[in-house]
Amino acid sequence: MNTEQLLQALRWRYATKVFDPNRKIPAETWSAMEETLVLSASSFGLQPYRFIVVDDPALRQQLMPHAWNQRQVVDASHFVVFAARTSVTEADIDGWIDRIAEVRGMPRDSLAQYRSMMTGMLLTPEFQPQAVHWAARQAYLALGNLMTAAAVLGIDTCPIEGFVPAEFDRLLGLPEQGYTSVVCCALGYRSADDKYATLPKVRRPKEELIRHV
Amino acid sequence: MNTEQLLQALRWRYATKVFDPNRKIPAETWSAMEETLVLSASSFGLQPYRFIVVDDPALRQQLMPHAWNQRQVVDASHFVVFAARTSVTEADIDGWIDRIAEVRGMPRDSLAQYRSMMTGMLLTPEFQPQAVHWAARQAYLALGNLMTAAAVLGIDTCPIEGFVPAEFDRLLGLPEQGYTSVVCCALGYRSADDKYATLPKVRRPKEELIRHV
C-alpha cells in the first residue's frame, strides 16, 4: 500500500451513524479484525484489557438504551466493548512472565529484571488508583489500531463513548472479572442513507495540531 | 490491501529498540504520517491534543535522559510527543464549533444542540478532574492509528511510555499552553542489529483476550 492509498482509506473513514443492518462482515475478515486486536501494542506487553464481542442480538438490544439509543449498537455487523483492567496484581504480572517464558522458550529466571521493572512500577500504592486509566489508554490504542486496520480493508466503524459504563458493566458481568467498559466500537458497512458519510471532514488546521520544535 | 497483507504488516511491526540512525523517513512519507494524526478520530471531534514533532537534535539529546536514556529518542528518524489537553474550556468548544461552521459552511446556530451536548458533558465540575484522562485516551487512539498506518507503509515505530512527563513538559513548554505529555512515539527504520526484531511475538491466547457473548 502506498501513502496515497493509505490516506484515501483514512479519508474514507468516518464515524458511521447508520449501518446497513443486512450486510455482515465475512467470517475470515472478522477473524483478521480480531487478530489486529490481539496484535495491538500495550504497556510492557501486559494487555490489560479484554475485548467483548457481543454476538447475541438480544443482549445488543439490552445494551442499546444505555448507549443513548444509538442504533449502531444493534445494526452494525459486529459490536465490540473494550474492557479495561481495574487494577494490576502480582498474579497478572506473573501470568504474563509465564506466558513470555512459554512462547519464547526462555527460563523464567532470565525475565527477573523485566519482572521487577513491572512490579516496581505497577504494584506501588501510588499506581493502583491510576491503573484503570493506564489500562484504558492501552484499550484506546487498540481501538485506534482496529479502526485504521478496518479502514484499510474497507470496513466501516463507529467508536462509541456515549454509553453508561456502569450499565454495560452490569449487563456484561465485567466487575466480577476485574474489568470495566471504557469504549465501544461498532463495525460493518455504512448504509446508503447515512447523510454523515458525505459531509466534509472537519479537523483543526494541521499547523495548529502538529508543532515542530 | 487484503487481510493477509494487513496481518503481515501488523506481525512485522514490533516495538523497535534499535533504529538505524542513518535512515530518514522521506519527506512525502512523513507528511502522510502527520496526515494520519490529523485524520484520527476523537471524542466529539474535539482533538484535545497536540503532536510535538521534535526535529531539533539538541532538544532530543536533552529529552533522552528523561526517557530512561532510551536511544530511540535520538536515533529514530522522527520523534513525536503526544500532548494531551489538561482541561476543557468553553473557548475550546466555541473554537471547535466555529471551525465546523467554517469548514462545512453551516450557520453557527444550527450547531447549537451539538454545542450544548458538549458543554453539558465537558464543562461540569465532575468532568474537569477527568479531562486529562479523557484527552489522554484520545491521544492514545491517535497513537494506535499512527502505529498501524506506519506498519502498513513499512515504517518502524516504538511507542514510549517510559519517560518523565514533568521533565518533558518543562523542556517543551507544555504546561503554559495547557497540555501535558502522555506518550511518545519514535519512527524510522529498524537497525539490522536489533535482536528484538526476530523474537517471537508474545500475546495472550486469542480466546482469553477476546470473549464472545
Rounded to the nearest 5 degrees, what angle is found at the Cα of B38, between the Cα atoms of B74 and A7?
100
Of the candidates B53, B142, B206, the beta carbon closest to that of A34 is on B206
CB contact under 8 A, A38 and B206: yes
Q: Are strands B156-160 and B210-212 parallel, antiparallel or unpaired?
A: unpaired
CB contact under 8 A, A32 and B7: yes
Contact A43, A134 (CB under 8 A): yes
Sign of CA dihedral A12, A13, A17, A18: positive
Sign of CA dihedral A70, A73, A75, A79: positive
Mean pLDDT over residues A174-189, rounded?
A: 98
CB contact under 8 A, B141 and A153: no
Strand order across the A210-212 sheet: A210-212, B49-53, B78-85, B179-188, B156-160
Best of A122, A181, A203, A208 to substitute, by most chain B Cβ atoms within 10 angstroms, is A203
Contact A81, A182 (CB under 8 A): no
Contact B54, B80 (CB under 8 A): yes
B110 vs A contacts (CB less than 8 Å) = none
B213 vs A contacts (CB less than 8 Å) = 52-56, 59, 172
Distance CA B167, CA A187 (A): 40
Distance CA A125, CA B40 (A): 34
Strand order across the A78-85 sheet: A156-160, A179-188, A78-85, A49-53, B210-212
pLDDT, tens digit, 9 for 90 and up, residues B76-104: 999 999 999 999 999 999 999 999 999 99
Contact B18, B71 (CB under 8 A): yes
User: Cα–Cα distances in Å, from A48 out to A132, A140, A169, B8, B140?
Assistant: 9, 11, 16, 24, 14
Of the candidates B2, B104, B143, the beta carbon closest to that of A199 is on B104
Q: What is the CATH number of domain A3-88+132-209?
A: 3.40.109.10
Q: How confident is the model at residue A63 (pLDDT cuts 50, 70, 90)?
A: very high
Distance from CA of B122 to the nearest CA of A (A): 13
pLDDT, residue A195, reads 93
A13 vs B contacts (CB less than 8 Å) = 39, 41
The domain B3-88+127-209 is classified under which CATH number: 3.40.109.10, 3.40.630.30, 3.20.20.150, 3.40.50.2000? 3.40.109.10
- Give the residue among B161, B144, B157, B162 at the shortest CA–CA distance from B194: B157
Distance CA B180, CA B139 (A): 11
What percent of chain A clears pLDDT 70, i.e. is strictly above it? 100
CB contact under 8 A, B47 and A149: no
Best of B106, B140, B156, B182 to substitute, by most chain A Cβ atoms within 10 angstroms, is B140
Bridge partner residues of B51 (DSSP): A210, B82
Give the domain ranges of chain B: 3-88+127-209
Best of B25, B113, B180, B213 to substitute, by most chain A Cβ atoms within 10 angstroms, is B213
Q: What is the ipTM of this complex?
A: 0.97
A54 vs B contacts (CB less than 8 Å) = 213
Average pLDDT of chain A is 97
pTM: 0.98
- Give the residue among A75, A78, A63 at the shortest CA–CA distance from A162: A63
Distance from CA of B17 to the nearest CA of A (A): 13
Of the candidates B7, B138, B153, the beta carbon closest to that of A1 is on B153
First-to-last alpha carbon distance for chain B, in angstroms, is 30
Distance from CA of B182 to the nearest CA of A (A): 10
pLDDT, residue A35, reads 98
pLDDT, residue B9, reads 97
Backbone angles phi, psi at A49, to 5 degrees: -155, 165
A7 vs B contacts (CB less than 8 Å) = 32, 35-36, 39
What percent of chain A clears pLDDT 90, i.e. is strictly above it? 100
Q: Provide the CB-side half-sphere exposure for B179 (13 A, CA).
A: 24
CB contact under 8 A, B35 and A10: yes
Backbone angles phi, psi at B208, to 5 degrees: -90, -40
- Give the residue among A192, A188, A193, A159 at the shortest CA–CA distance from A77: A188
Distance from CA of B45 to the nearest CA of A (A): 8
Mean pLDDT over residues A187-211, rounded?
A: 95
User: Cα–Cα distances in Å, from A111 out to A93, A99, B16, B48?
Assistant: 11, 11, 19, 38
pLDDT, residue B213, reads 98
- Give the residue among A124, A123, A131 at the shortest CA–CA distance from A180: A131
Distance from CA of B41 to the nearest CA of A (A): 8
CB contact under 8 A, A47 and B136: no
CB contact under 8 A, B41 and A147: yes
Identify the segments of chain B with pLDDT beneath 50.
Answer: none
